Amino acid sequence: MHIHILGICGTFMGSLAQLAQAQGHRVTGADANVYPPMSTQLQAAGIELTEGYDPQQLQPAPDLVVVGNVLSRGNPAVEYLLDSDIPYTSGPQWLRDHVLRGRWVLAVAGTHGKTTTSSMLAWILEYAGMQPGYLIGGVPGNFSRSARLGESSFFVVEADEYDSAFFDKRSKFVHYAPRTLVVNNLEFDHADIFADLAAIQRQFHHLVRTVPGNGLILSPLADAAIEQVFEQGCWTPRQQLALTSAPEAAQWCAATECADGSRFSIWLEGREVGRVEWTQTGNHSVMNGLAAVAAARHVGVAPDIAAQALCRFAGVKRRMECLGVVGGVCVYDDFAHHPTAIKTTLAGLRAKVGGERIIALIEPRSNTMRMGVYKRQLGQACIDADDVLWYQPPQLDWGMDEVVNHSPVPAKLASDLASLVADAVSLSGPGTHIVVMSNGGFGGVHQLLLQQLSKQSGQSLKRGEV
């Protein structure tokens, strides 16, 4: 079968393309901008890419077109598709029909931590010899790619609440029918498609309705927004997770042994069942790990084995990924998209590095950020940084002067990358940690920064060192 994917360079759709190719289909695709890292991953797989949405790419007609949620009415390829008799579907529906059906699906949902927790869970199952399939919205360090079919009935999927397609405004995750469901947390996000938190909670309850009675739902203890979802009805056993020194507080508990979360013990029903020492930092990472251990146990992985796997967890690209060290300055890349993500990431790093200087370079790029929904929370989210350098992207719908003027820590605003890099370098010295935070490419500022640091210090880059 010839499958053509519109919007193929998104992480989800690109991963889907690799799964379809692994099933033996001929896969082609198109995107408005064919860009790495997904473009290079697809080209390496031999998948033909077209830049733009000229209808000629649908001539001759493929057997099926999978439409990404970035496309809408008025797009020339979409209009041609609707005027023709070519079959089409959404990405989540294709995944359900052709990959997930008949498998034990372990889904990880929530506003924050989906990619990391999914990566942890897939790695735990792999470490335990279960050879799972997976589709993750990032590239896990323990694997070479963002998706694979696997060799068993188990499939781990990052369960996104974003809409499925222009013709299906349900969240992607309602298609997945998980037997094991993790709900990490729940906050208002995606203001471009959701009016308020209640609208997101409705979609999460649609997801809860799809989990069978012999399944399991895992969620944090005393999360009010999640509990409001369950109050609408829940027909599946639940277990709760807690970060606490009182191991009887919930079925699953994690007790940290140091401030940065790099060592912790795991408790089940008041009994210690595993210990973890790893390279991840922050309480949010500990909670992600605890959820992954609990989910893995549901498919038969003993917690002590899962804990051993976490000790060998290699992280996820763009999730506090250390790009390298130049002249004693460490540069990280982090996929920050929300004030809570910024705050927890910086807090975790502060706990790890103590009094060493932290500089945050932040591009408010997500749709919710661009709309200014959280502009009043942004300054306080950076309280653990010593300096914050904000970038005002051209497409931002509001001015950031108020964020800078009311910042609790020294802050500066730049509208060009050269000034941003120059300011970061001037503030840096040995022992400095620079965190570049954006859910996009940020104009390649990471490499510009590393090059300038190398030029100033006269030292070469040491990759992956902290």
CATH numbers and ranges of domains, the chain: 2-90 (3.40.50.720), 102-311 (3.40.1190.10), 321-457 (3.90.190.20)
CA distances from 99 to 15, 222, 238, 414, 421 (A): 12, 34, 26, 46, 44
Over residues 252-271, the pLDDT tens digits come to 999 999 988 899 999 999 99
Q: What is the pLDDT of residue 439?
A: 76
Upstream peptide bond of 303 is cis (omega within 30 degrees of 0): no
Q: What is the pLDDT of residue 323?
A: 85
Q: What is the pLDDT of residue 247?
A: 77
Q: How far apart are CA 380 and CA 406, in angstroms?
A: 9
Dihedral pair phi/psi, residue 327, rounded to 5°: 55, 35
CA angle 235, 239, 245 (to 5 degrees): 160
Handedness of CA 246, 249, 255, 261 (dihedral sign): negative
Q: What is the pLDDT of residue 295?
A: 98
Query: Which is higher by pLDDT, 214 or 409?
Result: 214
The pLDDT-based confidence of 465 (bands split at 50, 70, 90) is: very low
In whole numbers, what is the pLDDT of the chain averaged over residues? Answer: 90
Over residues 287-346, the pLDDT tens digits come to 999 999 999 999 999 999 999 999 999 877 777 788 888 888 989 888 877 788 888 889
CA distances from 148 to 64, 105, 143, 427 (A): 21, 14, 10, 43
Q: What is the pLDDT of residue 466?
A: 40
Q: For residue 163, give the amino acid letter.
A: D
pLDDT at 401 over 90: no
Judge contact between 132 and 122, C-beta under 8 A: yes
Rounded to an integer, the average pLDDT of 398-415 is 83
Over residues 345-356, the pLDDT tens digits come to 898 889 888 999
Rounded to an integer, the average pLDDT of 210-219 is 98
Q: What is the pLDDT of residue 151?
A: 95
Nearest to 120 by CA among 98, 95, 138: 138
The pLDDT-based confidence of 45 (bands split at 50, 70, 90) is: confident
Over residues 374-387, the pLDDT tens digits come to 677 788 888 999 99
Angle between helix 283-298 and helix 339-353 axes, rounded to 10 deg? 110
Q: What percent of the chain has pLDDT over 70?
A: 95
Judge contact between 119 and 316, C-beta under 8 A: yes
Over residues 137-183, the pLDDT tens digits come to 888 889 988 899 999 999 999 999 999 999 999 999 999 999 999 99
